[in-house]
């Protein structure tokens, strides 16, 4: 488990002024990684090429420009030449990121991530001797076009939100909402990595086979019950070999960090196709993630004891391979999760987005991230750097904590009324969904995951 160090000091301030704002998602205590393109800033810079940066306030520290400053002697080699236990130097780590390949850096393991975090924290702190050299390496986030933060080779979506599983189960099986295996095994399915898109990418309403209960045969047409799912995504940092499993006590060393995830869902398509093998076209048309990967180290101040949510029937316990003292003591993260909706009419009238729900991860999840990694590899599956593990919809116990419209509208039977008088049971064309998440508690600097947003386009 990650321990706190000087990088988490709530009194630490940056010479990047916007990083010191109380409401920023990206203070110096965060330092998440992202991939972006931006205009050229000089003859040494290739316009439009992907590069890795660190979010700091409203700015991005461009690590390609940092490398150039180091190579040309514009920046002193402050702390960059000392070898680590692995024989690498901080200069080597920056070089791998300057090439625009976050996967290569992630594969170096947690020691490299922690070492670079410590250097970046000191370099961006007030009074740093590198301020003059690194100031020209900053870009405004507004000038950057964000890309997927890494190459996602595979995607698995779990079903850890027990309140969501129970609510959805009640819609289809009122007398038996949770199937017998739910409390024992982390349920998941293998999703489609190729249709994962970065926040801000429009999402086109999918076509699919539809069969209303009263129809004798299915038809093909646009989805009429388009929904969102509020999730977190865990990014794998280091791989395990095929045929091996990752013990629970080692699982978090294989995680790089977290993103927000909206696993868009075509509920009417899903209702017809999901049995007997589970989601297919209802889930493979788009999944949106936030652009910044917040590292496990940045999240360390928000660790808390893992206690399963109270649920009918109680907790039967956990099989030994999924149980451990450290996981129980600090395997959960106390993050607030929020969903906002802005319709096309609200946008045209200049109305702010409407909050649909707000909840906490600790009140939603039946399994921890470490348990997901361990179970995924139980049979010898080889996870690889960049693989994405979705948590599943994280709904809290209250009616205003639901992570999907399927729950908020009671399966479409109870429309939501918005401030301008519009109603919604499911998403309409022109609607924009925005997910947010942040950690905040006394004595700790607030950090956020940034926004995860997408606007619905009409079916093709």
So which residues are the catalytic ones? 164
| Cβ atoms within 10 Å of 341's Cβ, excluding its own | 21
Four-point Cα dihedral 432, 435, 436, 437, nearest 10: 180
d(CA 451, CA 53): 17
Give yes or no for a contact between 429 and 343, defined as CB atoms under 8 angstroms apart.
Answer: no
Q: Which two tokens stand for residue 174?
A: 């009122």
- For 33, 51, 68, 337, 434, the CA distances from 293, given in Å and listed in that order, are 5, 14, 24, 16, 17
Torsion-angle region of 199 (φ positive above 0: left; ψ -120 to 50: alpha; else: beta): beta
d(CA 313, CA 306): 19
Counts of helices then strands in the chain (DSSP H, E): 12, 27
Q: Which two tokens stand for residue 423?
A: 């109603």
User: What is the Cβ-side half-sphere exposure of residue 34, based on CA atoms within 13 angstroms?
Assistant: 31
Q: φ, ψ for residue 175 (rounded to 5)?
A: -90, -10
- Residue 65, SS3? helix
Give yes or no for a contact between 51 and 62, defined as CB atoms under 8 angstroms apart.
Answer: yes
């Amino acid at each position: 488990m990650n321990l706190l160090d000087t990088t988490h000091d709530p009194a630490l301030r940056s010479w990047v002024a916007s990083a010191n704002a109380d409401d920023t998602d990206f203070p110096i205590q965060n330092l998440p990684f992202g991939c972006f393109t931006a205009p050229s800033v000089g003859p040494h810079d290739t316009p439009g090429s992907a590069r890795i940066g660190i979010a700091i306030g409203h700015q991005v520290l461009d690590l390609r420009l940092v490398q150039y400053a180091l190579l040309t002697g514009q920046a002193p080699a402050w702390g960059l030449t000392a070898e680590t236990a692995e024989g690498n130097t901080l200069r080597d780590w920056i070089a791998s990121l300057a090439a625009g390949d976050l996967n290569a850096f992630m594969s170096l393991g947690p020691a490299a991530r922690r070492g670079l975090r410590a250097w970046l924290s000191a370099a961006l702190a007030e009074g740093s001797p590198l301020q003059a050299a690194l100031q020209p390496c900053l870009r405004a986030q507004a000038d950057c076009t964000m890309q997927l933060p890494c190459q996602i080779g595979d995607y698995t979506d779990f079903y850890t939100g027990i309140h969501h599983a129970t609510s959805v189960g009640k819609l289809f099986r009122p007398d038996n909402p949770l199937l017998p295996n739910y409390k024992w095994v982390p349920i998941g399915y293998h999703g489609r990595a190729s249709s994962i898109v970065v926040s801000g990418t429009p999402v086109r309403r999918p076509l699919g086979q539809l069969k209303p209960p009263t129809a004798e045969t299915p038809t093909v047409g646009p989805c009429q019950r388009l929904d969102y799912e509020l999730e977190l995504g865990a990014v794998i940092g280091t791989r395990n070999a095929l045929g091996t499993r990752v013990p629970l006590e080692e699982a978090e060393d294989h995680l790089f960090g977290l993103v927000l995830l909206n696993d868009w869902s075509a509920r009417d398509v899903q209702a017809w196709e999901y049995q007997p093998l589970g989601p297919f076209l209802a889930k493979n048309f788009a999944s949106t993630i936030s652009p910044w990967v917040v590292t496990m180290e940045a999240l360390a101040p928000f660790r808390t004891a893992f206690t399963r949510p109270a649920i009918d029937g109680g907790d039967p316990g956990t099989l030994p391979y999924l149980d451990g003292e450290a996981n129980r003591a600090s395997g959960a993260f106390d993050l607030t999760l929020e969903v906002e909706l802005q319709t096309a009419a609200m946008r045209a009238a200049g109305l702010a987005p409407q909050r649909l729900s707000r909840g906490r991860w600790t009140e939603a999840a039946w399994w921890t991230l470490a348990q997901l990694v361990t179970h995924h590899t139980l049979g010898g599956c080889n996870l690889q750097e960049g693989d994405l593990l979705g948590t599943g919809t994280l709904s809290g116990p209250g009616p205003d904590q639901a992570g999907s419209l399927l729950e908020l509208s009671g399966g479409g039977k109870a429309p939501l009324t918005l401030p301008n008088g519009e109603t919604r049971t499911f998403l309409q064309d022109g609607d924009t969904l925005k997910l947010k998440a942040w950690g905040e508690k006394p004595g700790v600097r607030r950090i956020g995951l940034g926004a995860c947003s997408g606007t619905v386009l009409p079916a093709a």
